[in-house]
């Protein structure tokens, strides 16, 4: 049994804690990540059906109603049940350990926020089985399509969808309150804001966005639910409502949501590039502050999703300019990472490869993003596959790659075992090639004028769709080495030391895996900035003694 490999002084906690209402942030973090990958597999399976349908021009694999339900659920599951929960998982694991806190500020609230995820996840999955099938109006759920309710039942797929999204909003708000409070109130002695790791900066920025934006979406979704089941007319044109109003509520949150996703991934890049280039993060203060510039600008760009919806010219121009400005703080980060890599001593480990691949894809996505920001080009390509290609480069190409990088990098810390490099590199190769083969062809398709969300298309679009489908199937296969790696290394991977990557940070001064209360009473005092690679400055007081004790403990085990 594996229990023999752990220090005798510390009895191994039972695995059943992962299935209980546990308040330890490290347990909750792993719960989030495992649950999110369960839904990732479901969302991925739906993507395979989508690409299977689109490999031929005709609607022939599934019925059109089924296609619409599946693409809707693919987007919904990937956003609300994969990417947000997986990032909250990382937040739970990393924030307390990085700032030297024993746990989150409100551990019980934290557990409630997590347990809402399987609840609304179950609700969403259950909607596949209600009469009439699941919601089919896309993850935007624009009225009036979303309030048409073809069967007229009180319980419909769309109704369950809206309930789930509202619950997801509640869960995320609970999480955000917790993360923001923890970061502001519970940092180790000596860790001023400008000694805080960039991941915490980005988490703070992202979670502030959640607090500002989510009430709009949640309120908007509740009003839509009323229109659907209670006959109100918030958005019903025949009752004097305005369907475009919903689009404002929706995008006021859902555009910043993209930054909620990408900011922590920027945080991961900012943590990992220094470790694997053995250099300090270039321009730390500016990189840290850039996140908040992105927050400020990110709140005033939402109308760029609505350029063809019928908005006034001055609004189009205004929101185009604010959107373009976001390129500046984002560019600052990209250049800072290049500055970090420059003349470093690069180690191309699995997490580093995922970061480099993610940066590559992100730069591409940034350029198509500028194209989309300019109104005249957007008018042509909005609601076409160009947009689908663009955001999959952001979300899969950059964000999911960053999440994989983070998992490989911090796996030894929180599981206590090393993942296998060979499988990891295979996973990277398949993911990088698959993602580019899948998402690059979507750009020419959009430029040619192929609308998104179609279940059939004109034959001139066939070639690039075949390419995209082949890429998608490759991407489907790419998850196998990852799952294999995670399961086998968790069960029998080589034991990890407290700092296998020779990284600098409070979390690396804890045993792997850390005890339940992290540093407990003995929180070290931080005496320098993070990322002191090559400076020879210790991060905390008595660092040598702490590390010696950890090494000794590992030698005894």
Q: Which of positions 239-268 make contact with other proteins (CB under 8 A)?
A: 242-244
Options 277-285, 431-439, 467-475, 507-515: segment touching other proteins (CB under 8 A): 277-285
- Two structure tokens written together for 136: 């089919």
Sites for other proteins among residues 425-444 (CB under 8 A): 443-444
CB of 177 to other proteins, least distance (A): 33
* Residue of 97, 168, 382, 469 that binds other proteins (CB under 8 A): 382
Give the separation between CA 205 and CA 508, rounded to whole angstroms.
24
457 lies in the site for other proteins, by CB under 8 A: yes
Cβ closer to other proteins: 89 or 358? 358
CB of 426 to other proteins, least distance (A): 19
532 lies in the site for other proteins, by CB under 8 A: yes
Give the separation between CA 429 and CA 354, rounded to whole angstroms.
9
Binding mask 283-322 toward other proteins (x if CB under 8 A, else -) reads xxxx---------------------xxxxxx-xxx--xx-
Cβ closer to other proteins: 417 or 443? 443
CB of 267 to other proteins, least distance (A): 18
17 lies in the site for other proteins, by CB under 8 A: no
Cβ closer to other proteins: 26 or 409? 409
Q: How far is CA 5 from CA 414, 550, 554, in A?
A: 15, 16, 11
Options 78-86, 224-232, 273-281, 475-483: segment touching other proteins (CB under 8 A): 273-281
Instruction: Give the bridge partners for 495, in sequence order.
Output: 417
Phi and psi (nearest 5°) for 282?
A: -70, 120
Residue 394 and residue 492 in contact, taking contact as beta carbons nearer than 8 Å: no
CB of 397 to other proteins, least distance (A): 13
CB of 424 to other proteins, least distance (A): 17
Sites for other proteins among residues 97-126 (CB under 8 A): none
Residue 444 and residue 390 in contact, taking contact as beta carbons nearer than 8 Å: no
* Residue of 534, 548, 551, 552 that binds other proteins (CB under 8 A): 534
Cβ closer to other proteins: 192 or 310? 310
Sites for other proteins among residues 388-427 (CB under 8 A): none
* Residue of 45, 222, 245, 324 that binds other proteins (CB under 8 A): 324
Options 131-139, 403-411, 431-439, 538-546: segment touching other proteins (CB under 8 A): 131-139
- Helices (DSSP H) in 152-242: which residue ranges? 157-185, 198-229
Closest CA to 500 of 412, 425, 415: 412
Cβ closer to other proteins: 393 or 414? 393
Cα dihedral 503, 504, 506, 510 in deg (nearest 10): 40
Closest CA to 28 of 212, 189, 174: 174
The dihedral through the CA atoms of 539, 556, 416, 183 has a sign that is negative
Cβ closer to other proteins: 311 or 486? 311
The dihedral through the CA atoms of 249, 252, 254, 257 has a sign that is negative
CB of 326 to other proteins, least distance (A): 9
Instruction: Give the bridge partners for 157, in sequence order.
Output: 134
CB of 357 to other proteins, least distance (A): 10
Sites for other proteins among residues 215-234 (CB under 8 A): none
Q: Does a cis peptide bond (omega within 30 degrees of 0) precede residue 446?
A: no
Query: If you ran DSSP here, which 8-state letter would residue 449 be given?
Result: T
CB of 280 to other proteins, least distance (A): 5
**Residues contacting 97, CB < 8 A, separation 6+:** 26, 413, 506, 507, 510, 514, 518
């Amino acid at each position: 049994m594996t229990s023999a490999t752990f220090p005798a002084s510390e009895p191994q906690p039972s695995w059943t804690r992962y299935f209980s209402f546990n308040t330890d942030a490290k347990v909750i973090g792993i719960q989030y990540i495992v649950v999110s990958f369960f839904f990732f597999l479901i969302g991925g399976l739906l993507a395979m059906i989508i690409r299977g349908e689109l490999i031929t021009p005709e609607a022939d694999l599934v019925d059109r109603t089924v296609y619409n339900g599946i693409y809707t659920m693919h987007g919904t599951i990937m956003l609300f049940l994969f990417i947000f929960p997986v990032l909250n998982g990382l937040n739970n694991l990393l924030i307390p350990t990085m700032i030297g806190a024993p746990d989150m500020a409100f551990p019980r609230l934290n557990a409630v926020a997590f347990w809402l995820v399987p609840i609304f996840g179950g609700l969403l999955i259950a909607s596949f089985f209600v009469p009439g099938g699941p919601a089919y109006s896309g993850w935007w759920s624009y009225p009036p399509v979303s309030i048409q309710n073809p069967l007229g039942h009180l319980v419909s797929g769309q109704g369950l969808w809206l309930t789930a999204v509202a619950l997801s909003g509640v869960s995320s708000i609970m999480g955000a309150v917790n993360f923001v409070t923890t970061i502001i109130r519970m940092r180790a002695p000596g860790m001023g804001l400008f000694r805080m790791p960039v991941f915490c900066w980005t988490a703070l920025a992202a979670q502030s966005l959640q607090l500002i934006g989510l009430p709009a979406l949640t309120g908007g979704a509740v009003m839509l639910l009323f229109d659907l089941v209670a006959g109100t007319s918030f958005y019903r044109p025949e009752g004097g409502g305005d369907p475009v109003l919903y689009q404002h509520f929706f995008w006021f949150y859902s555009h910043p949501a993209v930054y909620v996703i990408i900011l922590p991934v920027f945080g991961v890049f900012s943590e990992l590039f220094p470790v694997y280039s053995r250099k300090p993060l270039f321009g730390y203060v500016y990189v840290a502050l850039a996140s908040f510039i992105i927050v400020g600008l990110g709140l005033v760009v939402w109308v760029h999703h609505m350029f063809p919806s019928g908005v006034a010219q001055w609004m189009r121009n205004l929101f185009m300019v604010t959107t373009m400005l976001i390129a500046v703080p984002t560019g600052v980060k990209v250049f800072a990472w290049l500055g970090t890599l420059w003349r470093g001593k690069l180690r191309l480990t699995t997490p580093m490869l995922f970061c480099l691949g993610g940066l590559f894809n992100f730069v591409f996505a940034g350029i198509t993003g500028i194209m989309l920001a300019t109104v005249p080009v957007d008018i042509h390509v909005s609601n076409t596959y160009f947009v689908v290609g663009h955001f999959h480069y952001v979300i899969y190409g950059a964000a999911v790659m960053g999440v994989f990088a983070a998992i490989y990098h911090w796996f030894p810390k929180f599981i206590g075992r090393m993942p296998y490099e060979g499988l990891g590199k295979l996973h990277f190769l398949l993911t990088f090639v698959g993602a580019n083969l899948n998402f690059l062809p979507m750009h020419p398709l959009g430029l040619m004028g192929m609308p998104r969300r179609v279940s059939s298309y004109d034959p001139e679009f066939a070639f690039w769709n075949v390419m995209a489908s082949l890429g998608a199937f490759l991407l489907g296969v790419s998850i196998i080495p990852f799952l294999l790696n995670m399961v086998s290394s968790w069960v029998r991977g080589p034991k990890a030391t407290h700092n296998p990557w020779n990284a600098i940070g409070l979390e690396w001064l804890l045993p792997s895996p850390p005890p339940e209360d992290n540093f407990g009473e003995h929180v070290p005092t931080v005496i320098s900035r993070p990322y002191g690679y090559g400076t020879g400055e210790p991060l905390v007081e008595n660092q040598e003694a702490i590390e010696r004790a950890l090494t000794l403990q590992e030698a005894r085990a």
